[in-house]
Structure 1
Amino acid sequence: MIQNPVLSGFHPDPSILRVEDDYYIATSTFEWFPGVQINHSKDLVHWDLLGYPLTRVSQLNMIGEEDSCGVWAPCLSYDKGRFYLIYTDVKSFIGSFKDTHNYLVTAEDIHGPWSEPIYLNSSGFDPSLFHDRDGRKYLVNMVMDHRSYSASKFAGIVLQEYSEAERKLVGPKKVIFKGSHLGVTEGPHLYWKDGYYYLMTAEGGTGYHHAVTVARSRNIDGPYEVAPNTPMLTSRYFPTHELQKAGHGSLVETPDHQWYLAHLCSRPVGQERRCILGRETAIQKVKWVEDWPVLEDGTCLPQMEVAAPMAGNQKNNTEEGKVRDGVEAKEIDMSGPWFYEDFDGDTWSLHLQSLRIPLDDRASLTDRPGWLRLYGAESLNSHFTQSLLGCRQQSFYMEAETKVEFQPENFKQMAGLAYYYNTQCYYYLHITWDDQFGRILSIIKNDLGKGSYPIGMGVSIPEKGPVWLKLTTRKETAQFSYALDGENYREIGEPLDATILSDDYFDQTGHGMFTGAFVAICCQDTSGERKAADFDWIRVNMIV
């Protein structure tokens, strides 16, 4: 059986693809670098992190970009021995305007190397490339309308041909679909089956009214008729269902002609229904009824368990990154890490990402072999050069731990363990320096951009020696602790409200955000002296 979500934690906007007997899902990464995460499966049940196509600044330079900008809604496709990846790099989306630049990169092997980007357009976001039966290729994307007097900022889905020979869009542009009654039409994907072009879109907005809708036409440029079962998928009518915000889907056909839908979803916690883990990826089985795709059970509601293809009982070579939720706290088994990086190799785990750009000379695995040395850079509020490596929180019940050596000389130098959503919302347990008490441990809370010190100066610690830092989460709450010997941990500060690290918490500002909670190791030196911290390892335990 397929157990949903198949990709837990921050894995939004899935684009699913099959090449022979290999399945791939590409998801949005927003401001996290490298860009676009690709997971791989042989059976739609077991998924492994494969890598990131956008590994060079020449492909993706997000320095200075605001929170939740960067890579939106990639589309992964394949044709005649070549992989194609379309993506949006969002530069700004506050206010009336959205600066959204769409690009194409290609590779002959899914592992790369991936090409330099080809610029396509900037008319909107969520671009998708369709390979037609006659060899022609077409780009579809939503069109953004910044005019306040327009009926909707979401002005429809535009179609334009792409010339591979000329490496650009050619010919006329045509808006082929204005959307259904649900509105907020985005996330388009085109498919061909049995004489029809099918246009799948996301509608209703990427919150609790989210949905997947389908329209079809005999001609690629329309007119498109909306399916009678609209929406095909949604949880908007079922507020107590475990999988909420269901929408933004893409289809895949198995070798034996079964059909499945990958889509995003979220799992809220607490009375405020906040989704700490962000938007996740789930898979539903699809059948065709009167030439329309519908969910296997005939409803529009996403299911937690779905029948897998015949090969679904065979596991991948590894199951790194596969986590599951849904047990009581007393049942949690924290023995054996889900993720462990000891920094003994020549690179770090794929699960660790930086913000906006590569770390480059802000990180070294050779200056002190067996340790990661992070050179202090800008603050956790910066949109430019941070020295930070983080991994997604993929379970409501998590224990993250690291060992750090750091000798600050002034209060502008900090290093430690962060529970991070974005530059405006995070908790940070850090080592720093106090003029009166010397080396100390303290906590910074940043709540919608308002910084505070919940425990004031903090606690004094010995002037030298390693410190072990730990973060433990239990759904809505989180707790920091520390040890000076690696064994005898002491809690520091009161339990923290984990739900502020969510898209939903930002709704009160009137400006949406779209990521999820991370746990990160980091180092700052806002004096500009680049004071370094050494991290021996990072370990993250989650429910498996």
Structure 2
Amino acid sequence: MTINNPILPGFNPDASFLRVGEDYYIATSTFEWFPGVQLYHSKDLANWELLPHALTRTSQLDLRGNPSSGGIWAPALSYDNGLYYLLFTDVKGRKGVYKDLHNYLVTAESMSGPWSEPIYLNGSGFDPYLFHDTDGTKWVLNMQWDFRDHHARFGGILLQQYDSKEQRLVGPIKKIYEGTDIGVTEGPQVFKRGGYYYLLVAEGGTGINHAATLARSRSLDGPYETDPSYPILTTRGAPDYPLQNAGHGMIIETQTGEWYMTHICSRPFAGTKLNPLGRETSIQRCVWTEDGWLRLAHEGRLPALTVPAPDLAKHPFPETPVKDEFDAPVLGHQYQTLRAPAEELWLSLSERPGFLRLRGRESLHSWHQQSMVARRLQHFNCTVETCMEYAPEHFMQMAGLVFYYDELDYFYLRVTRDDENGLKLGVVSSMSGKYQEDLASELHVEDWAAYYLKATVRKRALQFYASPDGEQWKAVGEVLDMGVLSDEYGGKLGFTGTMIGLCAQDINGTKKQADFDYFSYQID
């Protein structure tokens, strides 16, 4: 059996990789989307199921007001003596010279939760990781952020002891590794093998210079010797390779003694840096050299598109149904909401059984109170569809289907009411913050009892459609460029990916409701 990369397609970056017995887990960053931290489970490394998110309460995570591509960065899983540990960074401010952030620790007896209330650790830098040494001590590592003029922003990897009884960091802080000439050293992971402490770090940033570098030491606090053949993994210098931006690795050993590394990657459109699916998670098989360094099993540094599966029984999971009829009492794990939790204040699956009811709140540009339920775009060719019942009273009320990167970049097929022309259905867009309404293609829909809304993605081409009955469809607007919904479009350097959302706005504050009968996501 072989494993096809990526194993977690779509917006699934910064994978933290953990094995406990015969079970494998991955945690990925969720940034401004609630609930926080996606968790996946596997038995064979090829098939993965999405578990409940880790941070489900605002007492654990309050994202309202967090900037886009802020929030949850680089969660880190570990396990010791019957308890799962999860460290994460909540980034409150990310642009400019400063980074306002908070590092926290939560625990659970099961990966499915419930997870504890958070313990504050520090704010010296992001990407915290908890290492459980064999002598029973626990240590937190994170990168050092240095805002000072004439200093490198990425100031190396810090180490400090964690006291589980006092639930705080104690003792001196020591810088144990400053990285290589690749620069931008972050994302530390420590593991032990053959009398060495191995330190795996991400380097080069999240773009074309991204890499994974290994170092080792006889002592946890160093000094660390860098692998003379660093980095282990990178796509630097190979701009045409299908998997780009490879780095930020995490390593595990299977119960059968095989070694694998998860890592970030991206699949941009040919000749560009643009990928609306965002940063994804792939996996590589690794082997050890006689002198104790880790290498990709297929040799070289480029990530393989397919890798041999471990010597484990195949273990598939049930697939998520194509169509969600909204019959369940709670939202499926595939959905997230934007910054604010799914509360009865604005969302209900019970008031009208079989429908998702959204009460309109703030605009698509808000960092606080949006009414949006969304799932990841995970394929370059797919069709999404919904049916909405909605009766807006004026232009401040609107609802529909949105392809959303952030408040600066989105495409929105929405129904609203115009003072002069009555009910209308059309496309609005924002590209690098420039708002536009496609007035020429708007449909007048006064006689529609319901609004069937559809979109097709064909690699870089997005086309919206609408229908009054779900049978006779009419294209709405021009073909749109999915490249707009990418991390590096317009030089913005974000970290997420395209989310497909059902949403409603009522900027007047009267919470006009929209009812959605179903939502389907079909791979084409």
Same fold (TM over 0.5): yes
Contact 1:14–1:73, Cα closer than 8 Å, also in 2: yes
Instruction: Tell me which residue corresponds to 2:130.
Output: 129
Tell me if 1:500 matches 2:484: yes
Instruction: Tell me which residue corresponds to 1:346.
Output: 329
Match of 2:394, as an amino acid? N
For the residue of structure 2 that corresponds to 1:311, the secondary structure is: coil
Task: Return the offset for 1:298.
Answer: 2.2
Match of 1:189, as an amino acid? Q
Instruction: Tell me which residue corresponds to 2:508.
Output: 527
One of 513, 519, 524 as aligned partner of 2:494: 513
* Cα deviations by residue, 1:389-442 (Å, 9 ceiling, x for unpaired): 000000011111000000000000000000111111000000000112211101
Instruction: Tell me which residue corresponds to 1:240.
Output: 240
Instruction: Tell me which residue corresponds to 1:325.
Output: none
Instruction: Tell me which residue corresponds to 1:177.
Output: 177
For the residue of structure 1 that corresponds to 2:439, the secondary structure is: coil
Whole-angstrom distance in 2 between the partners of 1:388 and 1:319: 24
Instruction: Tell me which residue corresponds to 1:25.
Output: 26
Contact 1:4–1:283, Cα closer than 8 Å, also in 2: yes
Seen in structure 2, the aligned counterparts of structure 1 residues 23 and 381 have a Cα distance that, compared at 3 Å, is: same
Instruction: Tell me which residue corresponds to 1:540.
Output: 521
One of 356, 362, 366 as aligned partner of 1:378: 362
Task: Return the offset for 1:270.
Answer: 4.1
For the residue of structure 2 that corresponds to 1:499, the secondary structure is: helix
Task: Return the offset for 1:464.
Answer: 4.8
For the residue of structure 2 that corresponds to 1:471, the secondary structure is: strand
Whole-angstrom distance in 1 between the partners of 2:133 and 2:296: 25
One of 369, 372, 395 as aligned partner of 1:388: 372
Task: Return the offset for 1:443.
Answer: 1.0
Whole-angstrom distance in 2 between the partners of 1:398 and 1:380: 24
Instruction: Tell me which residue corresponds to 1:432.
Output: 416
Instruction: Tell me which residue corresponds to 1:282.
Output: 282
Instruction: Tell me which residue corresponds to 1:3.
Output: 4
213-222 or 437-446, larger mean C-alpha shift: 437-446
Whole-angstrom distance in 2 between the partners of 1:538 and 1:319: 16
TM-score, normalised by the number of residues in structure 2: 0.98
Contact 1:341–1:348, Cα closer than 8 Å, also in 2: no
Task: Return the offset for 1:169.
Answer: 0.3
Contact 1:75–1:86, Cα closer than 8 Å, also in 2: yes
Instruction: Tell me which residue corresponds to 1:420.
Output: 404
Whole-angstrom distance in 2 between the partners of 1:17 and 1:40: 10
Contact 1:506–1:513, Cα closer than 8 Å, also in 2: no
Tell me if 1:97 matches 2:92: no
Tell me if 1:366 matches 2:350: yes
For the residue of structure 2 that corresponds to 1:255, the secondary structure is: coil
Structure 1 runs (4+) greater than 4 angstroms displaced: none
One of 398, 418, 426 as aligned partner of 2:382: 398
One of 436, 439, 448 as aligned partner of 1:452: 436
Determine what percentage of the aligned residue pairs are the same residue: 49
Task: Return the offset for 1:370.
Answer: 1.1
Match of 1:353, as an amino acid? Q
Instruction: Tell me which residue corresponds to 1:333.
Output: none
Tell me if 1:52 matches 2:56: no
Match of 1:239, as an amino acid? P
Contact 1:7–1:282, Cα closer than 8 Å, also in 2: yes
Seen in structure 2, the aligned counterparts of structure 1 residues 506 and 249 have a Cα distance that, compared at 3 Å, is: farther
Contact 1:46–1:319, Cα closer than 8 Å, also in 2: no
Match of 1:412, as an amino acid? M
Residue pairs, 1:248-397, within 5 angstroms: 248-289=248-289, 290-311=291-312, 314-320=314-320, 339-360=322-343, 361-397=345-381
Runs (5+) with no aligned partner, structure 1? 321-337
Contact 1:276–1:516, Cα closer than 8 Å, also in 2: yes
Task: Return the offset for 1:100.
Answer: 1.4
Task: Return the offset for 1:258.
Answer: 0.4
Match of 1:348, as an amino acid? L
Task: Return the offset for 1:506.
Answer: 3.8
Task: Return the offset for 1:463.
Answer: 4.4
For the residue of structure 2 that corresponds to 1:51, the secondary structure is: coil
Whole-angstrom distance in 1 between the partners of 2:490 and 2:319: 33
For the residue of structure 2 that corresponds to 1:310, the secondary structure is: coil
For the residue of structure 2 that corresponds to 1:43, the secondary structure is: coil
The root-mean-square deviation of aligned C-alpha atoms, in Å, is 1.1
